[in-house]
């Protein structure tokens, strides 16, 4: 994540966290594929809305965010510590039954994404599931708010994930929705099983 992107979330943490009140509608499908009551890593917990749902469904959650301000807000919401951690700092091995990254890995520079995916794979137990969503596009760029995105197409994402690790199963889904900036947004999500 670039310094300008991280600075946006640090500076606008209260507004950003207050903006999202409803959980990701695709979260339930991800959780249904994880080991019941297993351990889940959330990369980029934001204000903690999805984290609350993960905990309420009986999972042990390790919530993380690159922004110390957002981590503090999420921690208050979910009643447990949220670790301040950048994606490249992930150093777990064989620890998680699920990894959830809603609209967070989309901020990883293209040149660094393969290495982050390798770290995610290493952190997962056998048969664990990862779900990660990305803003779709054709080239790396910043949005009007100064946040940088890797903006990849579905086929590029699939190729990148396949090259990064020997997944047992992998699929992608695409849809049009919105985002924090309220603009129509094309999304792509990867679901992969170790």
For 53-58, the CB contacts below 8 A with 24+ separation are 53/23, 53/27, 54/27, 54/100, 55/80, 57/31
**pLDDT score of 182:** 72
Which residues neighbour 89 within 8 Å (Cβ) at sequence distance 6 or greater?
none
Residue 187, pLDDT above cutoff 90: yes
Residue 134, pLDDT above cutoff 90: yes
Residue 145, pLDDT above cutoff 90: no
Higher-confidence position of 146 and 44: 44
Q: Measured between alpha carbons, how far is 188 from 182 in angstroms, rounded to an integer?
A: 17
**pLDDT score of 19:** 72
Q: What confidence tens digit (pLDDT) does each residue in 31-78 have?
A: 999 999 999 999 999 999 999 999 999 999 999 999 999 999 999 999
pTM assigned to the model? 0.95
The CB density around residue 40, as the number of other CB atoms within 10 Å, is 24
Higher-confidence position of 19 and 166: 166
Average pLDDT over residues 102-125: 97
Mean pLDDT of the residues in the chain = 94
Average pLDDT over residues 86-92: 97
Average pLDDT over residues 18-23: 79
**pLDDT score of 33:** 97
Cross-strand bridge partners of residue 40: 61, 98
Residue 193, pLDDT above cutoff 80: yes
Structural contact between residues 130 and 105, judged by C-beta atoms closer than 8 angstroms: no
Nearest residue to 67 via CA among 11, 132, 136, 20: 11
Question: Percentage of residues in the chain with pLDDT exceeding 70?
Answer: 98
Q: Measured between alpha carbons, how far is 150 from 42 in angstroms, rounded to an integer?
A: 20
Higher-confidence position of 21 and 11: 11
Q: What confidence tens digit (pLDDT) does each residue in 173-183 have?
A: 999 987 776 77
Question: Percentage of residues in the chain with pLDDT exceeding 90?
Answer: 81
């Amino acid at each position: 994540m670039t310094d300008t992107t991280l600075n946006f979330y640090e500076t606008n943490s209260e507004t950003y966290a207050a903006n999202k009140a409803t959980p990701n509608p695709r979260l339930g499908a991800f959780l249904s594929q994880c080991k019941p009551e297993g351990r889940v890593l959330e990369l980029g917990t934001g204000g903690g809305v999805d984290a609350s749902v993960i905990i309420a469904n009986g999972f042990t959650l390790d919530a993380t965010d690159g922004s110390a301000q957002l981590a503090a807000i999420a921690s208050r919401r979910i009643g447990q510590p949220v670790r301040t951690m950048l994606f490249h700092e992930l150093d777990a091995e064989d620890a998680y039954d699920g990894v959830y990254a809603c609209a967070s890995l989309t901020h990883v520079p293209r040149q660094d994404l393969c290495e982050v995916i390798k770290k995610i794979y290493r952190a997962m137990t056998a048969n664990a599931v990862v779900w990660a969503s990305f803003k779709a596009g054709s080239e790396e760029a910043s949005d009007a708010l100064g946040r940088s995105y890797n903006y990849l197409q579905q086929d590029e994402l699939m190729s990148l994930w396949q090259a990064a690790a020997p997944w047992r199963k992998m699929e992608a889904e695409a849809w049009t929705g919105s985002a924090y900036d309220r603009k129509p947004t094309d999304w792509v999500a990867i679901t992969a099983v170790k």
